[in-house]
């Protein structure tokens, strides 16, 4: 039987940072590599008003900021196309049309940023900026602009890709399969980070089957954890 590899569309819960940030924080605190990095565990900041990182180590010794690999256009489209519930009176609600349908516009398909990196023509220019070969690609223009800003962030970063890779009937090690896909898609991000933000580490949190798998910037596997073992995952009520 041939192996099957596919990417799922990101679940709606991942469009809200209040959902995925606690999930990532719990993952870090369950993986020995990051427990050691943090000096005993990470905690969330009391406030992000001054640009604090999302995961702060013991005594502030090491901190990581979370960045979601989700297209700006895709997230905006989901927000504009979902139905909105309005309370009419006690115990009675009504679903109202989306903003897009109210304007009479067609819904755009969510542009999967992972697939975009693999299939579209991108390159690093002489300034180590990620550049679109197709200047007219309206779906990803703002996403690439945002990603270039993030790459220059002088913090340790954890990039989270909310698209789950589903691998079925594979004779190969699933983590190796994921690692190869990650290299193919994200090596440009690692290369740019190394050149533009030297001294700051980069990590990737990727969903695969029923696990969250974490890689370093050179795509060394640093840990993984079953999603169903995470309290924060249980609260999201996402079916695998």
> Where residue 236 falls among pLDDT bands split at 50, 70, 90?
very high
What's the pLDDT at 97?
44
How much is the pTM? 0.81
Q: Are 183 and 112 in contact (CB under 8 A)?
A: no
Q: What is the dihedral of CA 12, 15, 20, 22, to 10 degrees?
A: -110
Of 210, 166, 158, the C-alpha closest to 186 is 158
Rg (CA), the chain: 19
Q: Are 44 and 54 in contact (CB under 8 A)?
A: yes
Gap between the Cα atoms of 60 and 38, Å rounded: 8
> Where residue 209 falls among pLDDT bands split at 50, 70, 90?
very high
pLDDT (mean) for 221-232 = 96
What's the pLDDT at 123?
75
Q: Which residues of 4-26 are buried (b: 16+ CB within 10 A; e: fewer)?
A: eeebeebbebbbeeebbbbbbbb
Of 153, 154, 135, 155, the C-alpha closest to 144 is 135
Q: Are 2 and 169 in contact (CB under 8 A)?
A: yes
Q: 237 to each of 12, 19, 69, 110, 161, how far by Cα in Å?
A: 11, 11, 21, 22, 18
Gap between the Cα atoms of 216 and 204, Å rounded: 6
Task: Reply yes or no on whether the pLDDT at 137 is more than 90.
Answer: no
Q: Are 24 and 55 in contact (CB under 8 A)?
A: yes
pLDDT (mean) for 118-130 = 76
Per residue in 215-224, pLDDT (tens digit) is 999 999 999 9
Gap between the Cα atoms of 150 and 162, Å rounded: 17
Sign of CA dihedral 221, 192, 109, 14: positive
What's the pLDDT at 168?
82
Query: Which of the two residues, 65 and 102, has the higher pLDDT score?
Result: 65
What's the pLDDT at 131?
81
Name which of 107-121, 129-143, 168-182 the model is least confident about: 107-121
Per residue in 20-77, pLDDT (tens digit) is 999 999 999 999 999 999 999 999 998 777 789 999 999 888 999 999 987 655 554 4
Task: Reply yes or no on whether the pLDDT at 167 is more than 80.
Answer: yes
């Amino acid at each position: 039987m041939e192996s099957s590899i596919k990417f799922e569309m990101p679940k709606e819960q991942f469009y809200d940072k209040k959902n995925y940030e606690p999930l990532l924080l719990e993952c870090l605190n369950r993986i020995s590599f990051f427990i050691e990095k943090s000096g005993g565990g990470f905690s969330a900041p009391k406030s992000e008003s001054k640009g604090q990182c999302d995961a702060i180590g013991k005594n502030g010794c090491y901190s990581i900021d979370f960045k979601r690999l989700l297209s700006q256009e895709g997230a905006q489209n989901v927000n504009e196309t979902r139905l909105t519930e309005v309370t009419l009176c006690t115990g009675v609600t009504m679903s109202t049309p989306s903003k897009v349908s109210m304007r009479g516009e067609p819904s755009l398909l969510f542009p999967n940023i992972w697939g975009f990196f693999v299939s579209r023509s991108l390159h690093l220019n002489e300034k180590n900026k990620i550049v679109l070969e197709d200047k007219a690609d309206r779906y990803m223009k703002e996403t690439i602009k945002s990603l270039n800003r993030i790459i220059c962030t002088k913090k340790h970063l954890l990039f989270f890709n909310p698209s789950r890779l589903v691998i079925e009937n594979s004779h190969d090690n699933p983590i190796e399969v994921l690692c190869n896909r990650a290299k193919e898609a994200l090596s440009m991000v690692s290369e740019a980070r190394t050149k533009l933000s030297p001294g700051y580490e980069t990590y990737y949190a990727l969903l695969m089957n029923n696990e969250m798998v974490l890689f370093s910037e050179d795509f060394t596997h640093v840990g993984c954890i079953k999603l169903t073992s995470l309290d924060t995952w249980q609260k999201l009520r996402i079916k695998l």
